[in-house]
């Protein structure tokens, strides 16, 4: 277990899983600008180290497979050693590819891996962080998906895992009340690719235009919502799901 970078002990501290790229990185960067200290946890250690160094002194990295109980325990302990407190947990890490092939040929091992990372990992993080969050009247945000509610073909494992995260969110909100608020964000289509990939393969006009919002989502859309749910401004909000999808799940698409 190794934690990179430095930090201070007087700012609010957030642990963001899956922070090495995409939405998790966007959330970490947003919270840092707001003055938080942020621990990025990810199974991709080289990239996580690199990103934490680039983010600067308020950021640190801890290597962690969120599906592994012992690694989660060690990573949370290392977070406390490093920053001395924990105010927020953002469970964002996931096997984020929704499509896993036809049901009849879906490998059981893949199903179990997706459930293990996306759902069990969220529970393990909540369990190990709860004592520290309780001490700070902290908050948890679970990154879910609109695929908890609607599906394309061949996405059983991902959809089931995110449906589980949604139910886990309200269960945790009740179990951990009143000290800890627990909410979920369900993003729709978020272009979470690295900037060079977005430039090399830009989305089409049709991709954007189908959304009531007129555009595909960005990591900043999810980061801003996360920031609000973690803040005292959301102090009367717990057990809820905030859908951040440009209106797509409210649009009838019959042809
Ligand atoms: N991008 C979208 O359109 C979209 C839409 C809805 C929901 N989401 C959800 O948002 C979250 C982030 O998605 P993204 O698009 O940024 O995904 P991504 O694949 O770009 O990033 C996921 C990160 O999680 C890490 N990760 C994977 N397995 C891990 C494990 N076992 N332990 C620790 N870290 C692990 C990866 O290394 C990676 O850095 C996910 O929960 C995803 O399901 C994304």
Q: What is the pLDDT of residues 43-96, one digit of tens each?
A: 999 999 999 999 999 999 999 999 999 999 999 999 999 999 999 999 999 999
Structure tokens at 121: 């990992």
Nearest alpha carbon to residue 227 among 7, 94, 91, 36: 36
Q: Is the CB of 225 under 6 A from ligand 1?
A: no
Q: Is the CB of 122 under 6 A from ligand 1?
A: no
List, for residues 194-244, the tens digit of each pLDDT value.
999 999 999 999 999 999 999 999 999 999 999 999 999 999 999 999 999
Q: How far is the CA of 49 from the centre of ligand 1 (A)?
A: 17
Q: How far is the CA of 143 from the centre of ligand 1 (A)?
A: 9
Q: How far is the CA of 223 from the centre of ligand 1 (A)?
A: 14
Residues 6+ away with beta carbon under 8 Å from 78: 1, 3, 62
Sequence spans of domains, the chain: 13-250
Q: Is the CB of 192 under 6 A from ligand 1?
A: yes
CA distances from 65 to 42, 43, 96 (A): 7, 5, 15
Active site residue 158: yes
CATH 3.40.50.720 fits 13-250, yes or no: yes
């Amino acid at each position: 277990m190794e934690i990179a970078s430095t930090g201070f002990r007087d700012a609010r501290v957030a642990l963001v899983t899956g922070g090495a790229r995409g939405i998790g990185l966007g959330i970490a960067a947003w919270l840092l600008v707001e003055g938080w200290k942020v621990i990025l946890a990810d199974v991709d250690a080289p990239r996580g180290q690199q990103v934490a160094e680039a983010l600067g002194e308020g950021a640190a990295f801890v290597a962690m497979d969120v599906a592994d109980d012992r690694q989660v325990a060690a990573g949370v302990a290392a977070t406390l050693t490093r920053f001395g407190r924990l105010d927020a947990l953002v469970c964002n890490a996931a096997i984020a590819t929704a499509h896993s092939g036809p049901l009849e040929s879906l490998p059981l091992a893949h199903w179990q891996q997706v459930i293990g990372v996306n759902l069990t990992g969220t529970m393990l993080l909540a369990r190990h962080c709860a004592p520290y969050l309780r001490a700070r009247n902290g908050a948890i945000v679970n990154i879910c998906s609109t695929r908890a509610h609607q599906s394309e073909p061949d996405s059983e494992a991902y959809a089931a895992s995110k449906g589980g995260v949604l139910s886990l969110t309200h269960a945790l909100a009740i179990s951990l009340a009143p000290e800890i608020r627990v909410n979920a964000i369900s993003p729709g289509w978020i272009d979470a690719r690295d900037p060079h990939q977005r430039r090399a393969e830009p989305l089409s006009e049709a991709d954007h235009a189908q959304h009531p919002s007129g555009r595909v989502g960005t990591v900043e859309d999810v980061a801003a919502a996360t920031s609000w749910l973690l803040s005292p401004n959301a102090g009367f909000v717990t057990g809820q799901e905030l859908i951040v999808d440009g209106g797509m799940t409210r649009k009838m698409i019959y042809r």
